[in-house]
Structure 1
Amino acid sequence: MTVQLPSEIVVDRFLPTVRSMLAAELSDRGFAQREIASRLGVSQAAVSQYLSGDRHVEERFAEEPRLQATVERIAEGFDAGTMDDYEALAELLELVRAFEDRGPICAVHEEEMPALSGMGCDLCVRGRDSGIQAEREVLSNVRRAVRQFANATGVPAHVPNVGTNVAMALPDAVDETDVAAVPGRIHAMRGGVNVPANPEFGGSHHVATTLLAATAADPSVRGAVNLATSENLLAAVPAGMEAVAFDAAYEDRRRRLDALFESGVPRIVYHEGAFGIEPITYVLGTSAVDAVETGTALAARANDGRN
């Protein structure tokens, strides 16, 4: 992977595309190549290449309605004499700023630098920030935990019908948008597990509710994974690791969990279901990876029939 600045995307991909589109628009309005070259600040030979299609055009930019409208507006202004170079530059700079903030320049930049994927170009637009760094670390931890869960032997047998989720909370999390998880949940499928999407903040409700109650009581607890409650799974809980039951009802669940965790947060909490509610076990940990390591170890012990 190469470290690449967003300004390189602007110079190498955005600017040639704009110049090519402007050259075509001005040519259609009867501008001579020499006049076009003067307006664009390039050589007449370059204009000839733009018009003949010999210069690369980034289609993701060229197909953007906002860029098309800006190019047409500038070309019309040049033709009518109602726009000068300063105003044209202002239009393009405004468009660059918009494209860099979760726009097509951001998308191309993420493609060139996969380390930025999922960050929405926050690093480029908003600068280095401890909050953004924390979000990145949480998302990375959940991605790693999901891979471990998906690759663990015997896990599908313990995935609930409603699905499993792997979650991790930000420090000082207050609501579901501070918890990263997999949208759509993880489901057992053809002897394996299906992960429908990359983790994102706000991707869970029930697992997030349990985790938020746990981390509010003990800030060191920030990860969780849910499994199907079964006799074998509960029997696999090793000595010294407490599994605590709670009522399955959804109504006032957060309040009841807060009360449950007042005396301490166990590594495992579970319920045995109710009408329309599948029995679920929540495995908690210091991170998503920690929770998954504990959860997959329990699943393996349950499959082996060991206590």
Structure 2
Amino acid sequence: MKPPCEIVVWYVIPSIRSKLAKELLNLGMKQKDISVLLDITQPAVSQYISDKRGHELDFDPEVEDYIKNMAKDIMNGELQSIDLIPHFCHVCKTIKTQEVLCQLHKEKVNIPTTCSVCMESENDHCC
């Protein structure tokens, strides 16, 4: 049994990092600076940018825009590394309401299609 949070760790967070790293690179930030900001290695940033990691999930336009705005706020100095946590959680919560997390859980873990645990969760955590 794999809980939905494991799907977040394996697919959602890497996809957020990938999109954010690409946006920051496009805005002129160096890979080393992105790695410091995201608290990951520079080779991991390189893998995110080259789609060797974190490319499994496509976001809807609302989430894409949210991540682009995160990148702009970082570049403008309005958002620091510590401030990223609630923004990552916001993306996870948004994905949950769009049932993307449930779909990933069903595809990647082969759970019954009738499962609705993700949507019935009453807590306010990311997953």
Q: Give the alignment's TM-score, normalised by structure 2.
A: 0.82
Paired residue for 1:40, among 9, 21, 38?
38
Paired residue for 1:74, among 70, 76, 88?
70
User: Whose helix fraction is larger, Structure 1's or Structure 2's?
Assistant: 2
Structure whose CA Rg is larger = 1
Shift of 1:70: 1.8
Paired residue for 2:6, among 4, 8, 19?
8
Q: Counterpart in 2 of 1:98?
A: 94
Q: Counterpart in 2 of 1:64?
A: 60
Which runs of 5 or more structure 2 residues have no equivalent in the other structure? none
Q: In the TM superposition, what are the counterparts of 1:105-144 in structure 2 within 5 Å?
A: 105-111=101-107, 112-115=109-112, 117=114, 119=116, 121-123=118-120, 125-126=121-122
CA contact (8 A) 1:23 1:36 kept: yes
CA contact (8 A) 2:96 2:118 kept: yes
CA contact (8 A) 2:101 2:118 kept: no
Judge which range, 95-104 or 69-78, deviates more: 95-104
Larger RCO (CA under 8 A, 6+ residues apart): 2
Judge which range, 35-44 or 91-100, deviates more: 91-100
Percent identity of equivalent pairs: 26
CA contact (8 A) 1:106 1:121 kept: yes
Shift of 1:116: 5.4
CA contact (8 A) 1:22 1:75 kept: yes
| Distance of aligned partners of 1:93 and 1:8 in 2 relative to their CA distance in 1, 3 Å threshold | same
Q: Counterpart in 2 of 1:31?
A: 29
Matched, 1:19 2:6: no
Q: Determine the C-alpha separation between the residues in 1 that align with 2:51 and 2:112.
A: 33
Deviations 1:240-295 (A, max 9, x none): xxxxxxxxxxxxxxxxxxxxxxxxxxxxxxxxxxxxxxxxxxxxxxxxxxxxxxxx
CA contact (8 A) 2:74 2:80 kept: yes
Deviating beyond 3 angstroms after TM superposition, the runs of 4 or more aligned structure 1 residues are none
Which runs of 5 or more structure 1 residues have no equivalent in the other structure? 128-307
Q: Determine the C-alpha separation between the residues in 2 that align with 1:118 and 1:10.
A: 17
Q: Determine the C-alpha separation between the residues in 2 that align with 1:120 and 1:7.
A: 12
Q: Determine the C-alpha separation between the residues in 2 that align with 1:23 and 1:58.
A: 15
CA contact (8 A) 2:21 2:45 kept: yes
User: Whose strand fraction is larger, Structure 1's or Structure 2's?
Assistant: 1
Q: Counterpart in 2 of 1:55?
A: 53
Q: Give the alignment's TM-score, normalised by structure 1.
A: 0.37
> CA RMSD for the aligned pairs?
2.1
Q: Determine the C-alpha separation between the residues in 1 that align with 2:47 and 2:119.
A: 36
